């Protein structure tokens, strides 16, 4: 048994079976043994790879979107360029290379990184340092400067803990994690009925699971609140669905393979699919006038992925051109990340949502 498994066992022994979100939070963010706290999980040697780690084209197009949004918002200055969960700092480095092409933007901008992992903070400082870019780290959104903000969150929301509820007969009950006689963590169902923290849409079959993340709700509420107060725009990119729905999407990934969620606590990445319709409804309720959504593939293609890939590949040897085409296929192809990943854009003022469809979630 690992030290973290022992800690979780003690929590269960003293409190009884724990909500799924409590288990996930301990696994990912325990201050000493948490998955993200103890390592750099990215890349081929790690557990998973993200779009910015596959190709610079991803960050360049995100950077172009943010720069265009800044211009459409009337060049607010000063402005914070904020990334939530920046991993190795690769995405922000690619964004910054685009930002620097507009002197007024670069001069108005300060980089702020919301990151809890000491290992990854170091990595981010190193990556951005190579470009001569300075950044300030934050544990959460509350310490960001009270300025206009442009933000991006790629594969960040999926790492925020969710709770699960299951329908049996007419009753919804919360799924909890306990500890059985054989010394293993197990899923169980609370006997008591639970009030659902978000609406269920349409007919739901018996046994269906509904996921809800209080941490994601607070995050999007705080983002919308800060945009409304100080102005700005941003993008949330992640795997998930544009339509509301049910299903158990909690998964563990280790060394690029699926693993058991309840085994090896703290040694595997735990994620869930993001419910973009729910995030959009919160942003809408918070009064965001511009909201748009799309699949990652459509978004990148509409922003000119193929043209930019062509420019990047021009005058390069054929093996490099082939590598660029393969990267394009991975980040935008239907069979790879293009369909599975979705993009949600929002802004504090009515500006064009380039590459995104508006009206998707209008009631
Ligand atoms: N955006 C990066 C990395 C995604 S991995 C990329 O696309 O490559 C998830 C990132 O979110 C990591 O940097 C992790 O340390 C960070 N993270 C996870 N939970 C967090 C939390 N609650 N607060 C701040 N950062 C968090």
Please write the tens of the pLDDT for every residue from 165-215: 999 999 999 999 999 988 899 999 999 999 999 999 888 999 999 999 999
Atom of ligand 1 at shortest range from CA of 88: 8
Mutate to test the pocket of ligand 1, among 41, 44, 159 (most ligand atoms within 8 A of CB): 159
Distance 239 CA to ligand 1 centre (A): 14
Does residue 39 sit within a domain? Answer: yes
**pLDDT digits 0-9 by tens, 142-156:** 999 999 999 999 999
Distance 311 CA to ligand 1 centre (A): 31
CB atoms within 10 A of CB 82: 27
Mutate to test the pocket of ligand 1, among 27, 87, 123 (most ligand atoms within 8 A of CB): 87
Nearest Cα to 270, choosing from 41, 87, 86, 8? 41
Flag whether pLDDT at 27 surpasses 80.
yes
- Kindly write down the DSSP assignment for every residue of 288-349, as one continuous string: -SEEEEEEHHHHHHHTTHHHHHHHHHTTS-HHHHHHHHHHHHHHH-TTTHHHHEEEEEEESS
Does residue 337 sit within a domain? Answer: no
Q: Is the CB of 337 under 6 A from ligand 1?
A: no
- Number of folded domains that form the chain: 1
Does residue 238 sit within a domain? Answer: yes
**pLDDT digits 0-9 by tens, 34-67:** 999 988 999 888 889 999 999 999 999 999 999 9
Rounded to an integer, what distance in angstroms lies between the CA atom of residue 109 and that of residue 59? 17
The answer to whether 50 and 87 have CB atoms below 8 angstroms apart is yes
Model confidence pTM above 0.95: yes
Q: Is the CB of 94 under 6 A from ligand 1?
A: no
Alpha-carbon separation of residue 257 from 33, 201, 249 (angstroms): 21, 32, 15
CATH code: domain of residue 27: 3.40.50.12710
Range of the domain at 221: 3-295+342-362
The answer to whether 238 and 341 have CB atoms below 8 angstroms apart is yes
The answer to whether 49 and 117 have CB atoms below 8 angstroms apart is no
Does residue 198 sit within a domain? Answer: yes
Does residue 325 sit within a domain? Answer: no
Does residue 311 sit within a domain? Answer: no
Number of residues that this document lists for the chain: 363
Atom of ligand 1 at shortest range from CA of 155: 4
**pLDDT digits 0-9 by tens, 226-250:** 999 999 999 999 999 999 999 999 9
- Protein residue whose Cα sits closest to atom 22 of ligand 1: 160
What pLDDT sits at residue 181?
81
Mutate to test the pocket of ligand 1, among 50, 61, 85 (most ligand atoms within 8 A of CB): 85
The answer to whether 242 and 360 have CB atoms below 8 angstroms apart is yes
Q: Which residues contact 140 (CB under 8 A, 6 or more apart)?
A: 114
Nearest Cα to 24, choosing from 177, 145, 129, 130? 177
Flag whether pLDDT at 363 surpasses 80.
no
Does residue 313 sit within a domain? Answer: no
Does residue 128 sit within a domain? Answer: yes
């Amino acid at each position: 048994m690992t030290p973290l498994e022992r800690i979780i066992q003690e929590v269960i022994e003293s409190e009884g079976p724990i909500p799924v979100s409590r288990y996930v939070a301990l696994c990912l963010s325990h201050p000493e043994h948490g998955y993200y706290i103890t390592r750099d999980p990215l890349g081929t040697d790690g557990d998973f790879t993200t779009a910015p780690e596959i190709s610079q084209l991803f960050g360049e197009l995100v950077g172009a979107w943010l720069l265009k949004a800044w211009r459409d918002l009337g060049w607010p200055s000063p402005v914070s360029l904020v990334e939530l969960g920046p991993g190795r700092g690769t995405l922000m480095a690619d964004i910054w290379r685009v930002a620097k092409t507009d002197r007024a933007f670069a001069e108005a901008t300060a980089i702020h990184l919301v990151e809890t992992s000491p290992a990854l903070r170091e990595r981010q400082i190193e990556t951005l340092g190579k470009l001569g870019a300075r950044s300030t780290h934050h544990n959460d959104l509350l310490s960001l400067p009270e300025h206009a903000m442009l933000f991006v969150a790629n594969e960040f929301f999926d790492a925020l803990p969710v709770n699960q509820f299951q329908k049996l007969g007419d009753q919804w009950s919360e799924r909890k994690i306990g500890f059985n006689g054989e010394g293993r963590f197990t899923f169980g169902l609370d006997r008591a009925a639970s009030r659902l923290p978000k609406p269920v849409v349409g007919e739901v079959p018996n046994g269906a699971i509904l996921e809800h993340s209080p941490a994601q709700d607070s995050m999007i509420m705080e983002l919308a609140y800060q945009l409304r107060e100080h102005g700005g725009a941003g993008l949330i990119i992640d795997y998930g669905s544009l339509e509301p729905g049910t299903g158990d999407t909690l998964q563990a990934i280790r060394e690029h393979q699926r693993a058991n969620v309840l085994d090896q606590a703290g040694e595997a990445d735990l994620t869930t699919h993001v419910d973009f319709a729910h995030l959009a409804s919160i942003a809408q309720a918070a009064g965001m006038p511009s909201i748009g959504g799309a699949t990652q593939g459509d978004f990148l293609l509409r922003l000119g992925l193929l043209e930019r890939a062509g420019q990047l590949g021009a005058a390069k040897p054929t093996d490099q051109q082939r590598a660029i085409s393969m990267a394009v296929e991975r980040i935008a192809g239907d069979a790879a990340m293009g369909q599975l990943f979705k993009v949600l854009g929002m802004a504090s003022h009515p500006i064009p949502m380039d590459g995104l469809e508006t009206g998707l979630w209008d009631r």
